[in-house]
Structures are given as C-alpha cells and as structure tokens.
C-alpha cells in the first residue's frame, strides 16, 4: 500500500505489490506486473534506438520529440539562443490557441493564418486606444522622438501601443487557457 500526497506525486513501478491471485482478475494483474518487471530488467541491459516519444501533452493532444526537434532546428536558424524548453512552451501555447480557434469554427488556409484570425477576433477587436493615451505616451517619451511632431509619429505610437496591449491580453488569455487544460511537459 502506498499513499501519495500533493507533495509526493510520483510512483515507482517496482513498488507495486500483488497480494492475491485467486480470481482471474488478479491473475491478469499478476501477469501484467510480471511483464512490467521483466521488461524493466531486460531494457536496463539492452541498447535501443528511440524512434519517437511524447515530450508534452495538452489534454489529449501530444507533442512528440521528433516534432519538437524539427521545430527547434528551424527556429534555431533565426534565433540561436533559443532553448528547447522555450520552443516547447511556445508549441503548447500554439496548441491551446489553435484549439480555441477551431472551436469557433474559424477557417483559414494555414495554421498561422488561423492563429492571426483568432487573435484578431478574440483579442485585437476588443482593444480601444484613447487618443489621450497616445498623446500621453508622446509627451512622456518626447526626448526619444528627437523633435519629431506628434502628427508625424502618432500612427507609429498607436501601432506600438496596440501591439503592446495585444501581447498583454494574449498572455493573460493563454494563462487562462493553461489553467483550464491538463498540460504536462516531460522533456
């Protein structure tokens, strides 16, 4: 008998104990345990080539090692400092957002387009920038604009503030989605 609390959530297969084999059910359990123990022993001494495995999942959606490696290699070409953990986190976020987009029956030719459509619909459309906020930003950062007039930089400030707000809200939205999903990374 083994108990697991919140601070101790890992099991070890070799701690499984079988006590009674009277019924066929118990026999099945016994055979299962024997096979498990046997395979553990055998695999400890043999060499194997891994074809693929699950490195993370979001509810019923799996991310495999080969997928991760493929994405990692592609991103590394443009951002050499990126880590596998960061790629995996991005991949999980992407799954969460795509899943929501599909729930809304949004259609787009590619997954990237689908994501953009979803973010536009769910996040961007709800952002309303006030003119005074754009003015405030200009006044607070006047030195940075090196004497340029407000009218000349207004659109750029608006675009910057909009993207900043989109990122902020998107981050909150992802956190909300993460809290509702069963996510596990096992790199």
Partner 1 sequence: MLLFVSSIEASGPPIQKIDVEGLYSIEKEELLYLLNVKAGDVLSPLTVRNGIKRVFLKGIFEDISVEVDDADKSKVKIKVKERDIVKGIYISGNEHLSKKVIKGHFLFTEGQVMRYDLIEDSIKKLRHALSERGFHRAEASIQVERTTEPYRVNVILRVNEGEPELIKSIKIYGPEYEVRSLMKVTEGDIYDQFRLRADLNRIKRHYKKLGYLNPSAGPYTFFEGELDLSINPGKKLGIFFEGNSDIDSKALLKEMPFFDAEDFRDDLVEEASARITALYHSRGYSFAQVAPVVATDKDTINLHFFVFEGERFTVGSIRFTGVTLPEKNLKEIMSLKEGGVYNSDLIDSDRESLREFYNALGYLNAHVEEFHVEIRNSKADINVTVSEGAKTEIISIEIKGAELIPEEKIRSAIGIKPGNPYNEVDISDARYRVIELYGNYGFTEPMVDVKREFVDKGARIVFDIGEGPITFFGKTVIRGNSNTRREVISRELIHRESRPFNYSLLTKERQRLYKLGLFTDVDIDALHKENDARDILIGVKEGKAGIIEFGFGYGEYERYRGFFDISYRNLFGMNRQASFRIEVSSLEQRYILSYFEPWFLGRPMPFRMLLMREERTEKSIDTGETRYKLRRHTASAGFEKRLSEKLKADIFYEFSIVKTFDVKPDVILTRDDMGTLAISAIRPGIIYDTRDNPFDPRRGVLAGISLKMSSSVLLSETDFMKVIFHGSIYKEVSRRFVLALSLRGGIAQGFGATRELPLVERFFLGGRTTVRGYEQDTLGPKGVDGTPTGGNAFLSTNLELRTSIGKGAGLVTFVDGGNVWRKMGDVDASGLKYTAGMGIRYNTPVGPLRIDYGHKLQRERGESRGEVHFSIGHAF
Binding segment for partner 1 (CB under 8 A), chosen from 47-55, 75-83, 125-133, 142-150, is 47-55
Among 27, 34, 41, 53, binds partner 1 (CB under 8 A): 53
Answer for the pair 58, 183: CB distance below 8 angstroms, yes or no.
Answer: yes
Binding segment for partner 1 (CB under 8 A), chosen from 15-23, 80-88, 144-152, 158-166, is 15-23
- What's the residue count for the chain? 187
Among 24, 48, 110, 131, binds partner 1 (CB under 8 A): 48
- β-bridge mates for residue 125, sequence order: none
Among 14, 27, 34, 39, binds partner 1 (CB under 8 A): 39
> Which is nearer to partner 1, 64 or 165 (by Cβ)?
64
Among 14, 27, 32, 135, binds partner 1 (CB under 8 A): 32
> Which is nearer to partner 1, 20 or 167 (by Cβ)?
20
18 binds partner 1 (CB under 8 A): yes
Q: Residue 59 and residue 16: Cα distance in Å, rounded?
A: 27
- Dihedral sign of CA atoms 104, 166, 75, 58 in order: negative
Binding segment for partner 1 (CB under 8 A), chosen from 40-48, 77-85, 117-125, 149-157, is 40-48
Contacts of 115 by beta carbon, 8 Å cutoff, 6+ apart: 94, 97, 98, 101
DSSP letters for 145-178: GTT--HHHHHHHHHHHHHHHHHHHHHHHHHHHHH
67 binds partner 1 (CB under 8 A): yes
Give, in order, the Cα–Cα distances in Å from 176 to each of 53, 83, 126, 173, 179: 28, 24, 17, 5, 5
HSE value, Cβ hemisphere, 13 Å, CA-based, for 143:
1
Contact residues toward partner 1 (CB under 8 A) are 1-6, 9, 11, 16, 18-20, 25-26, 29, 32-33, 35-36, 39, 43, 46-54, 57, 59-62, 64-67, 69-70, 73, 182, 184, 186
């Amino acid at each position: 008998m083994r108990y697991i609390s919140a601070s101790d959530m890992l099991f070890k297969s070799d701690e499984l104990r079988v006590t009674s084999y009277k019924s066929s059910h118990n026999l099945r359990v016994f055979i299962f345990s024997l096979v498990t123990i046997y395979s553990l022993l055998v695999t400890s001494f043999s060499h194997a080539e891994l074809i693929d495995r699950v490195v993370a999942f979001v509810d019923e959606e799996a991310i495999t090692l080969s997928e991760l490696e493929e994405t990692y290699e592609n991103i590394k070409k443009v951002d050499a400092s990126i880590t596998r953990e960061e790629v995996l986190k991005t991949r999980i976020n992407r799954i969460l957002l795509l899943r929501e987009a599909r729930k809304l029956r949004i259609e787009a030719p590619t997954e990237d387009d689908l994501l953009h459509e979803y973010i536009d619909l769910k996040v961007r459309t709800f952002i309303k920038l006030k003119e005074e906020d754009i003015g405030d930003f200009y006044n607070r950062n006047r030195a940075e604009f090196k004497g340029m007039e407000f009218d000349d930089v207004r659109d750029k400030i608006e675009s910057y503030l909009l993207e900043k707000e989109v990122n902020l809200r998107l981050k909150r939205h992802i956190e909300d989605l993460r809290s509702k999903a069963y996510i596990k990374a096992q790199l």
